Amino acid sequence: MRKLFYAALMAGFFSCALPLMAQQVCPGLSYVANTPEDELMQEVNGAEKPEEQIAALDKFAQAHTDSKFMPCVYEYYTMVYLKLNNFDKVIEYGEKGMATDHRDMNLIINLAKAYVASGKSSDSALDAVVKAPDQIKAESSPVKPSNISDAEWQKTQQELADQAKDEGAYMTYAFFQLLPRVPDGKKRVEALDGFLKAYPDVESKNTGQINFAYFIAYKMANQPDQAREYGEKTIATDPNNVAALNLMAYDYGIGKASPDQKATDYAKKALDLAQAMKKPEGVPDDQFKLEQNGQLGMAHLTLGYVAFTKIGKSKKAGPAIDELKVAADLLEGNPELQGQALYYLGYAYEANYPANHQGAFEALTHASNLQTSWRGPAQDLLEKVKRAMK
């Protein structure tokens, strides 16, 4: 099964963005009056349009490439381009800012927002998420100024603590938006390990989601033992996780000469849960239907395959044919699994007594027209069916 199939399953987790309090801009990068930096800030803060702010930043950056104030310039670029929803530019300048000796949470969060909104990911983006807790701690623990009262300081500390909580929550959200975009399973595992080390409280609060993330990552990394371990952990902590049930049912059933009983048990439970799925608020009807059909189809595929393996002993192909026909219809949105369902459906028609050559011909022709890994096997079997039909 293709890695992208597993990747897509993670997209729905941690899907609710969290509001953030305002972060301090360029803390520690001060400037004095009547300097180019002072002139820049007056132009940026006095500009009425984002385009005017960008022009001022461009002018300064071209004239003062070696200025110690450039990290702040990069940060302002991210703020302005974020207003314009120009996420590629936010990423460009955010990466430049992260490469300097100075970085702060405003810059890190702007960069994370751009990556989340752009649909992209990168090693540096995930690295920024992992480094964020140390930066959050540093910015939320300033030294008490001598000219502030205890009451005012207590209020400030509470505000900083609230902001730190919001920032940590957003970076957690961002991580689980970025993770499904990592195509390499081993890198996913490494990213998860690094994330949990940096955010130790997340695992206990989101055990099911963490287990599922590791499950998918290990499957993509082709490490079946670890994947199965985390698949079982996912089902134990989140027994209504339809995707986990379907994937585990598939593993225990598909491709095995003697499917495990868990294949049937998990597939039946996934089928019940998928039938009862309710559309989340804000999700388009067609998108929800595609997801629901995919889960229903995968459960029917596993049950159909289990029935298929019993044809030799039972001499009855009907149960397999019934399940696989339903699976093939439901899996239209997943060509790889649909091709597999059609292949076994064609095989089941041929294994029936008497053989249904026409049914096999139609199923295998359909499978042969799909650009999947099942195209070759379907074409080979189709040629045999054609000879049998003569």
What whole-number distance in Å separates Cα of residue 9 and Cα of residue 319?
29
Cα angle for residues 123, 129, 131 (degrees, 5° grid): 100
Q: Cis ω on the peptide bond leading into residue 71 (within 30° of 0)?
A: no
**12 vs 379 pLDDT, higher one:** 379
The two three-digit tokens of residue 264, written as one number? 């049937």
Q: What angle do CA 307, 313, 317 make, to 5 degrees?
A: 45
Whole-number Å distance between alpha carbons of 5 and 372:
13
CB 352 within 8 A of CB 321: yes
93: three-class secondary structure by DSSP: helix
Whole-Å CA distances, 371 to 113, 248, 334, 340: 36, 25, 11, 12
Q: What CA–CA distance (Å, rounded) separates 17 from 188? A: 22
What tens digit of pLDDT does each residue of 352-366 get?
989 999 999 999 999
Q: Following DSSP, what letter does each residue of 18-61 receive, concatenated? A: ---PPPPSSTT----TTSHHHHHHHHHHH-SSHHHHHHHHHHHH
How many Cβ atoms sit within 10 Å of the Cβ of residue 12? 12
Q: Could you report the per-residue pLDDT of 127-171, keeping only the tens digit for each? A: 999 999 999 999 988 888 888 898 999 998 999 999 999 999 999
Place of tokens 């099911």: 208
Confidence at residue 108, expressed as pLDDT on a 0 to 100 scale:
95
At 238-284, the pLDDT tens digits run: 999 999 999 999 999 997 778 999 999 999 999 999 999 999 999 99
pLDDT given at position 313: 85
Q: How far apart are CA 238 and CA 250, in angstroms?
A: 18
Inter-CA distances, 353 with 314, 318, 320, Å: 11, 10, 13
Is 80 exceeded by the pLDDT of residue 183?
yes
Q: Counting every residue, how long is the chain?
A: 390
Q: What is the arithmetic mean of pLDDT over 301-318?
A: 93
Report yes or no: 382 and 376 within 8 Å, Cβ to Cβ: no
Q: Is residue 23 within 8 Å of residue 109, measured between CB atoms? A: yes
pLDDT at 20: 55
Q: Is 47 left (phi over 0), alpha (psi -120 to 50) or beta?
A: beta
- For residue 97, give Cα distances in angstroms to 71, 155, 198: 5, 31, 22
| Domains of the chain with bracketed CATH | 3-181 (1.25.40.10), 184-238 (no CATH), 239-389 (1.25.40.10)
Closest CA to 334 of 285, 301, 378, 303: 301
Which residues, including other chains, have CB under 8 Å from residue 192's CB and lie 6 or more apart? Answer: 179, 210, 213, 214, 217
For residue 188, pLDDT over 90 is answered with yes
**Do 192 and 19 touch, CB atoms closer than 8 A?**
no
Coil/strand/helix, residue 8? helix
pLDDT of residue 146: 87
Question: What is the rounded average pLDDT of the residues 221-234?
Answer: 96
- Weakest-pLDDT range from 2-6, 107-111, 300-304, 381-385: 2-6
Alpha carbon dihedral 344, 345, 350, 354, in 10-degree steps, equals 140
Contacts of 268 (CB under 8 A, 6+ apart): 299, 303
Question: Is the torsion defined by CA of 146, 152, 154, 159 positive or negative?
Answer: negative
The structure tokens listed for 57 are 């930043």
pLDDT of 181 strictly over 80: yes
CA 179 to chain centre: 5
pLDDT per residue as tens digits for the range 94-118? 999 999 988 899 999 999 999 999 9
pLDDT of residue 3: 47
Q: Which of the two residues, 162 and 34, has the higher pLDDT score?
A: 162
Q: DSSP secondary-structure letter at 145?
A: P
> Residue 285's Cα: distance from chain center in Å?
21
pLDDT at 6: 53
Q: What is the pTM of this model?
A: 0.86
